[in-house]
Amino acid sequence: MIMDLPTYKDVVDASKTILGIAHRTPIQTSRTLDDELGVKVFIKAENFQRSGSFKFRGAFNAVSRCGKSGVLTYSSGNHAQGIALASKLLGVQATIIMPKDAPKSKVAGTLGYGANIVYYDRYAEVRDEVADKVMKTLPEETVFIPPYNHWYVIGGQGTVGKELIESLHSEDIFLDFIFVCVGGGGLISGISLAVEALSPRTIVIGVEPEAGDDAKRSLESGQIVHINTPKTIADGAQTQHLGEMTFEIMKKNVSQIVTVSDQELIDGMRFFGERMKMIVEPTGCLALAGLRKLVKSGHVKRGSKCGVIISGGNCDLSRYCELISSSNPNP
């Protein structure tokens, strides 16, 4: 069966929907990082996005298009905050299903934007089943907007890539690689649509935690692989499988998935904090860790121009300090 999928047109439409609402986040560079790796790195800093992550883009696009009668979703935190803020701005009631162990800052942000939260045990319960039960308690017009496997969510996330590529092209800079974190695949599939249309020679590389390598295994096997909830400090990538839409787009547009350790994520957190003065959550460090790994392996050659997406910066400060001070991270 041929599945209808979002296209670059959906990214363009989303960019119009979020214009003046979502921030056009900065592109950061670091001479220290360039010297370390021998490549030129351009960092799209979505940690400076509204609600603290790229998720606001897809959330606002989706709620504004189909969720004006009430919204239900599930999320470990960043999609939750994005949906909650988008719903607040649009005058919509949002209900969010969140794991009991979600970072406190993400729970506080979600509540602060006015959403209702239903908690579940991510290691013992299936969140789709929890969502089905909760939906039955909500008004009939309520719409479910998942974190990644959704037409308008994918289109919204693709605006990250559109902005990065257009900004660099305006300065005659053309990327050889772009590194993107992978959880359910919404961000990388959306960005890959922009890359396909605007910079087809750019190689799209996904990066996920070693403990949660379902995307890597899925692309290698040609079918969606389901895993148990991975134990990793990258809470934004503790997904169990890709979405059907994201998988189909990734099969076509993503060249490779690499995996990295939690320690490599901590190394990235330290670098961003010490050298670039940015607080970046563990999931937000996946892309940099992947770039470092492929430079070391020789896959990325010296002199390459590389885009790196920081997905978000929502991290409890106490947990952040614990992680950057640790030599043996505990998920």
Among the listed residues 46, 163, 208, 213, the single catalytic one is 208
Mean pLDDT rounded to a whole number for the chain: 95
Q: Is pLDDT of 177 > 60?
A: yes
Among the listed residues 82, 156, 212, 268, the single catalytic one is 212
pLDDT tens figures, 183-233: 999 999 999 999 999 999 999 999 999 999 999 999 999 999 999 999 999
pLDDT for the residue 212: 97
Among the listed residues 44, 55, 162, 293, the single catalytic one is 55
pLDDT for the residue 275: 97
- DSSP element (H, E) containing 309: strand 305-310
**Residue from 110, 102, 103, 105 nearest 82 by CA:** 110
Active-site annotation holds for 55: yes
**Residue from 209, 55, 227 nearest 146 by CA:** 55
pLDDT tens figures, 129-156: 999 999 999 999 999 999 999 999 999 9
Active-site annotation holds for 214: yes
102 vs 97, residue with greater confidence: 97
pLDDT for the residue 1: 56
DSSP E strand boundaries for 85-184: 94-99, 116-120, 143-144, 177-181
Its sign, for the CA torsion 145, 150, 152, 155, is positive
Mean per-residue pLDDT for 118-123?
92
Interatomic CA distance for residues 279 and 281, integer angstroms: 7
Among the listed residues 51, 75, 76, 218, the single catalytic one is 76
**Residue from 170, 53, 42 nearest 110 by CA:** 53
Amino acid symbol at 318: S
Active-site annotation holds for 20: no
123 confidence band (pLDDT: 50, 70, 90): confident
| CB-based contact 99:77 (threshold 8 Å) | no
pLDDT for the residue 33: 98
pLDDT tens figures, 275-298: 999 999 999 999 999 999 999 999
Among the listed residues 52, 158, 311, 313, the single catalytic one is 311
Q: Is pLDDT of 91 > 90?
A: yes
| CB-based contact 89:17 (threshold 8 Å) | no
Interhelix angle 186-198/8-18, rounded to 10 degrees, is: 110
Sequential DSSP letters for 162-211: HHHHHHHHTTT---SEEEEE-SSSHHHHHHHHHHHHH-TTSEEEEEEEGG
pLDDT for the residue 156: 98
3 confidence band (pLDDT: 50, 70, 90): confident
pLDDT tens figures, 234-245: 999 999 999 999
* Six token digits for residue 52: 């603290």
According to DSSP, residue 114 is labeled: T
pLDDT tens figures, 156-169: 999 999 999 999 99
Among the listed residues 213, 214, 235, 281, the single catalytic one is 214
Sequential DSSP letters for 51-77: GGBTHHHHHHHHHHHH-TT-EEEE-SS
Active-site annotation holds for 212: yes
Q: Is pLDDT of 68 > 90?
A: no
**Residue from 269, 253, 173, 261 nearest 212 by CA:** 261
**Residue from 65, 41, 23, 285 nearest 160 by CA:** 23
Active-site annotation holds for 255: no
pLDDT for the residue 173: 98
